[in-house]
Amino acid sequence: MSVSLKGFQERFVTFRAGENCAAGSPVEVTAENTVAPQTAGSFAGVCAAVEGDLALVQVSGFVVLPADTTANALALGSGSVVLAAGKVKNGAGRGAIVTAIREDGMAEMILM
């Protein structure tokens, strides 16, 4: 048996796809019912797919994102995380359970 968190409480929402919205990128709401790649706003979720002018966004469940690996920037366990400079770190953002910080600089987490 092995550990697997994939599929746990995954939830998706369809938004309008803003400019440069691409599968795999963290996104933020930039206009009414529209998401675009996250820059400075609130982290809404991860774009799972883009079809035409629509984006499927994973808003909860297991995701893997780049981590801020500097000392004490991201901790294992439950808390709040933010995306800054394209990397996840502890901060006053959305709830998450960080389950692993991998050697390749990626964080495995469950978005709440």
pLDDT block averages, 10 residues each, the chain of length 112: 88 97 94 93 91 97 94 94 91 93 96 94
Question: 25, 29, 42: which is closest to 93 by C-alpha?
Answer: 42
The reply to whether 3 falls in a domain is: no
Considering 24, 39, 59, which residue would you say is the last residue of a domain? 59
Domain of 91 in residue numbering reads as: 63-111
Residue 9: strand, helix, or coil: coil
- Stated length of the chain: 112
Is 4 a member of any domain?
no
Look at residue 102 in the predicted model and tell me its pLDDT: 96
Per-residue pLDDT, 59: 97
In-domain check, residue 1: no
Strands 87-90, 106-111: pairing kind: unpaired
pLDDT for the residue numbered 33: 97
Quote the pTM value: 0.89
Rounded-to-integer distance, Cα 42 and Cα 83, Å: 8
Report if residue 6 sits inside a domain.
no
Query: What was the pLDDT predicted at 4?
Result: 87
Q: What is the b/e burial string over 53-87, where b = at least 16 CB atoms within 10 angstroms of the residue's CB?
A: eebbbbbbbbbbbebbbeeeebeeeeeebbbeeeb
pLDDT at 98 (0 to 100): 97
Total domains, the chain: 2
